[in-house]
């Protein structure tokens, strides 16, 4: 079959600010097995540009695929972008199958199938084996009920092409097949690297880069995170084969930087050590960046020199909180002492530590923010990343909040990207949360110790890593404040989380000529605002900033007042 993989453009700062892009590993992971199964496959990466919906549709029409496969790794906030593309493609190519996958559709398949009649299939969970089975079933006109891991509408007739006249009846039953079996042998699914031009993809300061995955899943169960459930079990690739693949990417394609996609690459010490040793023995000057747990760094104190020799330049440590009680409440399985020690150990080995801190796990008061700032300064991380608690429906954190009837202040799903406040903060008004978060970031990044490392660290690679992040920070920081003041919309007393997560973000409409999204009236999601409208809004936002008071007493009044 002729297949087009489409990486939708993402509105978040992670995509728009760095001015460089990483390859979409999720789609490339589908591409390899699809090519090996004899399909003709191409990738359209609409992050470059970013491409408008019109432009994406015309590129799709030009290639004229039998199936369009959509998915974005920033999956919740990427959803509105993906659905706009699905609608445009459906109008232009009624005979093409549209398949959608990734984390958010995995957990919201029923609502999406109800709201988006243009999407034919949702693939739940990891997609390599399922997509090959689905494409085979379509091509050979085999019963769709036999394809585990897919969601579709009853009455969908398999075929190499979709029946152009088929429009799902409003009452079509959505059928969810049983989950697909876990992929145990990750080395059996190769990544379709040939689908990209490596020259286009750079990161970490214009270094030729890829995203690569040693392991899937996580053995821990932090209450706010759903990734351990998405991958179902922690598994890893063969350490030696994985190291050899990275070395090949360097030798054949000049790749210099590896961004590890793993949730927790270090979970199994023996496997991780075997990988580090295998990579060291390849003698390739690769730089590795990734995310891991502070407790693993402390566990590995005696082998951190191997991390360094293998090329590990930076680890993001999800500290999440600087309060032991909160760490317990979110089941982080770490303590302040462990977090602090991990940062110290990374410094001792010349590896940049980036501390991720999350606002909003508890209902903070001003004092809590102040204490966090002091604590973070005492930890002394090289870099800080402050994000907001984001209640994905599939996490215990969200279940608990739904019971407590917490309200959502951000109903635009494209802003559910960890960089926007989602949940009401009853103790501190919205604007002051922003002030605290930005202040914490600024003080941590601009403190003398951090500046000294940026300007005078003896290791030039360390300085370069610090420079890259501070250059991004210099643009992100004012951008976020600007967006908050003039662009983002927040509801002063929005829907409860429960209402919102049952599909309250609703469907946008795309007008035929412009593909500008609009929202059906009376729905919860605020439509994206045009630039001119945004420019006319500042006074409104500033006024709201001045008058917005803590929301005490407002909890039972879902009045949809737009805050800014």
**Selection from 259, 236, 237 nearest residue 18 by Cα:** 259
485 binds, among ligand B12, ligand SF4, none (CB under 5 to 8 A by kind): none
Nearer of residues 155 and 219 to ligand SF4, judged by Cβ: 219
* 29: contact with ligand B12 by CB under 6 A: yes
3-state helix, strand, coil in the chain (%, to 5): 45, 15, 40
Q: Give the nearest distance from C-beta 477 to ligand SF4 in angstroms.
A: 25
| Residue range at the interface with ligand B12 (CB under 6 A); choices 151-159, 259-267, 370-378, 446-454 | 259-267
Taking the C-alpha atoms of residue 246 and residue 249, their distance in angstroms, rounded to an integer, is 5
Out of 245, 256, 263, 508, point to the residue binding ligand B12 (CB under 6 A): 263
Q: Which SS3 state, helix, strand or coil, does residue 17 take? A: coil
Out of 79, 87, 108, 228, point to the residue binding ligand SF4 (CB under 6 A): 228
The site for ligand B12, by CB under 6 A, has a size of 41
Out of 66, 417, 424, 480, point to the residue binding ligand B12 (CB under 6 A): 417
Nearer of residues 74 and 528 to ligand SF4, judged by Cβ: 74
* 111: contact with ligand B12 by CB under 6 A: no
**Selection from 394, 387, 390 nearest residue 104 by Cα:** 394
Taking the C-alpha atoms of residue 172 and residue 152, their distance in angstroms, rounded to an integer, is 10
* 410: contact with ligand B12 by CB under 6 A: no
Nearer of residues 222 and 398 to ligand SF4, judged by Cβ: 222
The DSSP H or E segment spanning 493 is none
H-helix segments, 176-303: 227-231, 239-253, 269-282, 294-299
* Tokens found for residue 370: 């102040």
> To 5 degrees, how large is the angle CA 69–CA 71–CA 74?
170
Nearer of residues 128 and 263 to ligand SF4, judged by Cβ: 263
Contact by Cβ (8 Å): 509, 426: no
Nearer of residues 68 and 317 to ligand SF4, judged by Cβ: 317
Site string for ligand B12, 91-110 (x = CB under 6 A): --------xxxxxx------
Nearer of residues 266 and 544 to ligand SF4, judged by Cβ: 266
What is the distance of C-alpha 400 from the center of its chain? 22
Contact by Cβ (8 Å): 309, 282: no
* Tokens found for residue 69: 């496969």
* 266: contact with ligand B12 by CB under 6 A: no
532: Cβ contacts below 8 Å, ≥ 6 apart: none
**Selection from 522, 528, 518 nearest residue 77 by Cα:** 528
507 binds, among ligand SF4, ligand B12, none (CB under 5 to 8 A by kind): none
The DSSP H or E segment spanning 4 is strand 2-7
**Selection from 470, 386, 487 nearest residue 435 by Cα:** 386
321-360 residues in contact with ligand B12 (CB under 6 A) are none
* 126: contact with ligand B12 by CB under 6 A: yes
268-297 residues in contact with ligand B12 (CB under 6 A) are none
The DSSP H or E segment spanning 2 is strand 2-7
Taking the C-alpha atoms of residue 49 and residue 372, their distance in angstroms, rounded to an integer, is 38
* 70: contact with ligand SF4 by CB under 6 A: no
Nearer of residues 109 and 343 to ligand B12, judged by Cβ: 109
* 195: contact with ligand SF4 by CB under 6 A: no
**Selection from 132, 116, 33, 130 nearest residue 81 by Cα:** 116
Out of 225, 246, 286, 288, point to the residue binding ligand SF4 (CB under 6 A): 225
* 264: contact with ligand SF4 by CB under 6 A: yes
Taking the C-alpha atoms of residue 139 and residue 137, their distance in angstroms, rounded to an integer, is 6
69 binds, among ligand B12, ligand SF4, none (CB under 5 to 8 A by kind): ligand B12
292-311 residues in contact with ligand SF4 (CB under 6 A) are 293
Taking the C-alpha atoms of residue 191 and residue 32, their distance in angstroms, rounded to an integer, is 5
53-72 residues in contact with ligand B12 (CB under 6 A) are 69-71
What is the distance of C-alpha 262 from the center of its chain? 12
410 binds, among ligand B12, ligand SF4, none (CB under 5 to 8 A by kind): none
Site string for ligand B12, 212-251 (x = CB under 6 A): -x-----------x-x------------------------
Taking the C-alpha atoms of residue 408 and residue 182, their distance in angstroms, rounded to an integer, is 34
* 236: contact with ligand SF4 by CB under 6 A: no
Nearer of residues 398 and 526 to ligand B12, judged by Cβ: 398
Spell out where 332-428 has E strands. Answer: 352-359, 383-388
Q: Which residues bind ligand B12 (CB under 6 A)?
A: 10, 12-15, 22, 24-26, 29-30, 69-71, 73-77, 99-104, 123, 126-128, 131, 211, 213, 225, 227, 259, 261, 263, 392, 417-419
Q: Which residues bind ligand SF4 (CB under 6 A)?
A: 218, 220-222, 225, 227-228, 263-264, 293, 318
């Amino acid at each position: 079959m002729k297949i087009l993989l489409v990486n939708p453009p993402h509105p978040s700062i992670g995509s728009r600010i760095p001015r460089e892009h990483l390859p979409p590993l999720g789609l490339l992971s589908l591409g390899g097995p699809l090519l090996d199964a004899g399909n003709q496959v191409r990738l359209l990466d609409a992050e470059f540009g970013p491409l408008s919906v019109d432009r994406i549709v015309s590129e799709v029409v030009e290639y004229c695929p039998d199936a369009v496969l959509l998915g974005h790794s920033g999956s919740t906030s990427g959803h509105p972008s993906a659905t706009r593309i699905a609608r445009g493609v459906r109008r232009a190519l009624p005979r093409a199958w549209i398949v959608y996958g990734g984390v958010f559709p995995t957990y919201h398949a029923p609502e999406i199938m109800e709201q988006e009649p243009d999407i034919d299939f949702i693939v739940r969970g990891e997609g390599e084996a399922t997509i090959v089975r689905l494409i085979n079933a379509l091509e050979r006109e085999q019963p769709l009920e036999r394809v585990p891991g897919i969601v579709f509408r009853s009455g969908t007739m398999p075929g190499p092409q979709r029946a152009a006249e088929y429009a799902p009846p409003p009452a079509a039953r959505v059928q969810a097949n049983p989950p697909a079996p876990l992929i145990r042998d990750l080395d059996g699914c190769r990544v379709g690297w040939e689908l990209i031009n490596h020259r286009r993809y750079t990161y970490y300061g214009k270094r030729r880069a890829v995203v690569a995955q040693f392991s899937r899943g996580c053995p821990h169960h932090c209450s706010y995170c759903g990734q351990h459930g998405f991958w179902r079990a922690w598994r890893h690739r063969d350490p030696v084969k994985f190291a050899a693949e990275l070395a090949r990417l360097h030798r054949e394609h000049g790749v210099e930087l590896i961004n590890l996609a793993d949730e927790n690459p270090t979970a199994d010490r023996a496997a991780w050590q075997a990988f580090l040793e295998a990579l060291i023995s390849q003698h390739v000057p690769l730089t590795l960046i990734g995310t891991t747990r502070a407790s693993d760094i402390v566990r590995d104190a005696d082998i951190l020199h191997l991390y360094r020799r293998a090329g590990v330049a930076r680890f993001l440590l999800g500290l999440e909180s600087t309060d032991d009680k909160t760490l317990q409440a979110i089941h982080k399985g770490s303590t302040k002492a462990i977090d602090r020690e991990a940062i110290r150990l990374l410094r001792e080995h010349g590896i940049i530590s980036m501390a991720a801190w999350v606002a909003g796990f508890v209902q903070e008061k001003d004092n809590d923010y102040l204490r966090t700032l002091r604590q973070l300064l005492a930890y002394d991380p090289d870099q800080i990343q402050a994000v907001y608690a984001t209640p994905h429906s599939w996490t215990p954190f969200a279940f608990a909040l739904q019971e407590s009837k917490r309200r959502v202040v951000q109903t635009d799903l494209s802003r559910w990207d960890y960089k926007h406040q989602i949940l009401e903060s009853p103790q501190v008004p919205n604007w002051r949360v922003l002030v605290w978060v930005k202040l914490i970031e600024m003080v941590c990044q601009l403190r003398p110790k951090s500046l000294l490392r940026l300007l005078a660290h003896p290791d030039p690679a360390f300085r370069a890593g610090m420079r890259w992040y501070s250059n991004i920070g210099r643009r992100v920081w004012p951008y976020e404040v600007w967006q908050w003041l003039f662009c983002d919309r927040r509801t002063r007393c929005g829907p409860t989380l429960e209402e919102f997560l049952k599909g309250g973000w609703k469907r946008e409409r795309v007008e035929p000529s412009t593909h500008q999204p609009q929202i059906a009236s009376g729905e919860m999601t605020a439509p994206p605002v045009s630039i001119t409208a945004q420019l006319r809004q500042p006074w409104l936002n500033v006024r709201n900033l001045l008058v917005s008071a803590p929301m005490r007493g407002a909890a039972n009044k879902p009045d949809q007042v737009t805050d800014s």
